[in-house]
Structure 1
Amino acid sequence: MLRSEQPSPGNGDSAHVAVKKAIKASPAKVADLIATALAIQEQDAAEAGQVGYMARAMIWASMPHRKIEGAHYKRDNGLASITMLVDPEIGLPYGKLPRLIAAWLTREAKLTGARELVLGRSLAEFSEKLGLSTNGGLRGDTSRLKMQATKLFSTFVSVTAHRGQDYAYKNVALSDSGMLLWDPKRPHERSLWESTITLSESFFLECMDNAVPFDLRVLHRLRSPLAIDIYLWLTWRMFILRRSVLIPWLALRSQFGAGYAMTAQGMAHFRAEFHRCLHEVNTLYPGARMTTERDGLRLLPSPPHVGVLPCRH
């Protein structure tokens, strides 16, 4: 049985060896993880001004990790189903960028108390707000940012719960309206007007009432969308967890592994990647107590990574 309660990141060379062995990463990536873990250990998110928020509905949604065809994305864990819908000409959001954007939207709404959010007069300005590189070019962040923002802002999320004959649902559209006036080929060129987005009432209330706090440094350090999803999910679960619970592997694959084949080999691939990402997350969030078992992941009551904070608006 693999325990995720690994050696503290503060233990020097032994920590580097343990983390590198667990996640099979390059020395540079391990060094980056350890450096971030040490920074978090020395100064918590509130002290560092690095408290982020993610709307609970977006944690549940767990967007695609990579590009998928179509305009419909659905997952079902037996108790609830989450469906994402979008205009087929636009396509579904995927990867790390829409997760960063969703976190920024949630935080801005939470801290300002406003539904209309100002994105900036240039793509570079919005990139800086997200903590991204402002390098242009076909493969730069800015060349993908407008595309993923358009996909995300056009997305509709539906959560349905079914238990016996009982049925409940919640529909959340991210935005009512918006303007993206940026030219990806000229990311530093400032437009005459600000690009803006007006959040839908349902998503705004989700941000205000059901936002989960987390450490922004973790979100920026993790590169894998799966690792980001695991981290955000753990922060939410640890807020509400009161007793030990075992999450079956099938439920975990339904939550995080929609891109893996529904076969024994697909499950094996998912479990291997889940283990790798879980070790990355636990390096940055060592207070999360959990063990991986034959039948699933066991979560033990643990302190949340970031406590509940009063919002300012």
Structure 2
Amino acid sequence: MDYSIGSDKLLEITYSPKLMSIVSIFPAEKPKTSYIERRNGSVSVNVAPAFDRWAYGKIPRLVLLYSCSLIMQHSQLVDFETRTIVFDESFRSFCRNSGLPYYGSLAGEVDDMLDRMLNTFVQIRGWFKNEDETIKAVANYRIFDYGEFHFNEHDKSKKTYIRFSKLLWRVLTEKCIPLNKTMASNLRSSRALDIYQWLSYRTYGLKGRVVVPWQNLRVQFEGDEIPMYRFKEQFLRALRTIQNSWTDLHVEILSEGVAMNPCKSSIRQLEACGKDAPAMESDGKTVTKDDGGFNPF
């Protein structure tokens, strides 16, 4: 992959970790359960908070997208040896760069969500074929190893910084997906942001029509916590907001699921402005139906 990109594109391109493009790591709303499970093919992800302090909504998603973007662009704010990112900027600038809408009480909300992310535990399970043997691999990690949060417009002496766990650092640095920054920021709902990341990943380099069953989509984005009719309503509402911005997106809503067709990437606007869009790997496979039997990693 070639992700070489100038620093002037910080406000034009954001990057999504591949895992976030496959399953929803964070719930859209605060769950009533002690943990959530999301599945995609042979990979399942369990997420649980400490002290019932869930990280949810759009803020945790944009924090990880922004962190991934700083890493991919080799920003001076990133210490690669210690896996640390320092948000060396005013809170207003942080909002502008991360895609958050700035308002007075937001700093406290961001501090709170960062603290909740610090206390979030993630487990990934995957089943892989090795010759004649099926192997189950399990990885457990916290999102952050350490963090200090000092978003204060009046006191610039202390910096907000986070140190990622080793496993999550791998998630943030391997096979990231380029997204249209403006589009990602303008999507108001966290569900729409999750679906946009997934569509960007699945449609890149797509050679043929792919049908994804509704049941696969529900366990990928919402788990089994809500009935199917409600999930479809939420999914279609979010999809319409994506289509309003991504006009070249070619999807069909079927009784059995959602059909995706080859289309132009949502970052084509950068090419129209004479700027190079980052490349992304594609397996180039033509698929007729997504039955959940593949390993997305």
Q: TM-score, normalised by structure 2?
A: 0.75
Name the residue aligned to 1:221.
Answer: 186
Instruction: Please point out which of 119, 134, 144 is paired with 2:87.
Output: 119
Q: CA deviation at 1:47?
A: 7.5
> Helix, strand or coil for the counterpart of 1:64?
coil
- The answer as to whether partners of 2:177 and 2:201 remain within 8 angstroms in 1 is yes
Aligned counterparts of 1:67 and 1:95: Cα–Cα separation in 2: 8
8 A Cα contact 1:123 1:146, kept in partner? no
Match of 2:110 in 1: 145
Specify the alignment match of 2:36 in structure 1: 73
Query: Corresponding residue for 1:102?
Result: 64
Structure-2 change in CA distance of 1:293 and 1:134 (3 Å): closer
| CA positional deviation for 1:310 | 6.9
User: SS of the residue aligned with 1:188?
Assistant: coil
**Alpha-carbon offset, residue 247 of structure 1:** 0.6
Letter matched to residue 150 of structure 2: L
SS in 2 for 1:145: helix
Give the counterpart letter for 1:295 in structure 2: E
Tell me the residue number matched to 2:154: 189
CA distance 1:163–1:196, change in 2 (3 Å): closer
Q: Deviations over 1:66-104 (max 9, x none)?
A: 112455221235632111133225x22111111111111
- Once residues 257 and 232 of structure 1 are traced to their aligned partners in structure 2, the CA distance between those partners, rounded to angstroms, is 15
Aligned-pair identity (%): 22
1:305: which partner in 2? 266
Amino acid at match of 1:225: S
Cα RMSD (Å): 2.9
Q: 1:233 to 1:78 in 2, by over 3 A?
A: closer
Letter in 2 for 1:287: D
2:211 to 246, 262, 269: 246
1:92 matched to 2:57? The reply is no
Asked if 1:176 is matched to 2:145, the reply is yes
Aligned letter for 2:243?
N
How many residue pairs match? The answer is 254
Distance in 2 separating the partners of 1:135 and 1:254: 34
Q: 1:195 to 1:98 in 2, by over 3 A?
A: same
Return closer, same or farther for 1:117/1:259 CA change in 2, 3 Å cut-off: same
Match of 2:5 in 1: none
Q: CA deviation at 1:292?
A: 0.9
Question: Which secondary structure state, in structure 2, belongs to the residue aligned with residue 88 of structure 1?
Answer: helix
Q: 1:56 to 1:96 in 2, by over 3 A?
A: same
Where structure 1 has 5 or more consecutive residues not aligned to the other structure, the ranges are 1-45
Alignment of 1:45-84 (within 5 A): 49-62=11-24, 63-69=26-32, 71-77=34-40, 79-84=42-47
Change in CA separation of 1:129 and 1:189 when aligned onto 2, cut-off 3 Å:
farther
* Alpha-carbon distance change, 239 to 96 in structure 1, aligned in 2, over 3 angstroms: same
Secondary structure at 1:84 match in 2: strand
What amino acid is aligned across from residue 197 of structure 2 in structure 1? L
Q: Please give the secondary structure, in 2, of the residue aligned with 1:150.
A: helix
Distance 1:291 1:111, change over 3 A: same
Q: Is there any run of 5+ residues in structure 2 with no aligned partner, and where?
A: 1-7, 269-276, 281-297
Question: Given the alignment, which residue of 228, 242, 245 partners 1:284?
Answer: 245
Distance 2:217 2:22 in 1: 12
The 2-side partners of 1:274 and 1:47 are apart by 30
- Checking the alignment, whether the CA contact within 8 Å between 1:215 and 1:305 is kept in structure 2 is yes
Contact 1:125 1:188 in 2 (8 A): no
Letter of the aligned partner of 1:309 in structure 2? Answer: P
Could you say what secondary structure the match of 2:73 adopts?
helix
Structure 2 vs 1, CA of residues 190 and 121 (structure 1 numbering), >3 Å: closer, same or farther?
A: farther
Residues 192-213 of structure 1: per-residue CA shift (max 9 Å, x gap): 2212112233333332222110
Residue 189 of structure 1: how far off its partner (Å): 2.2
Cα 1:143–1:179 change in 2 (3 A) is: closer
Counterpart of 2:246 in structure 1: which amino acid?
Answer: Y
Kindly provide the amino acid, as one letter, of the partner of residue 241 in structure 2: E
Flag the 1:131–1:290 CA change in 2: closer, same or farther, 3 A. Answer: closer
Q: Is the 8 A contact 2:17 2:177 kept in 1?
A: yes
* Residue number in structure 2 paired with 1:132: 100
Quote the residue 1:231 is aligned against.
Answer: 196
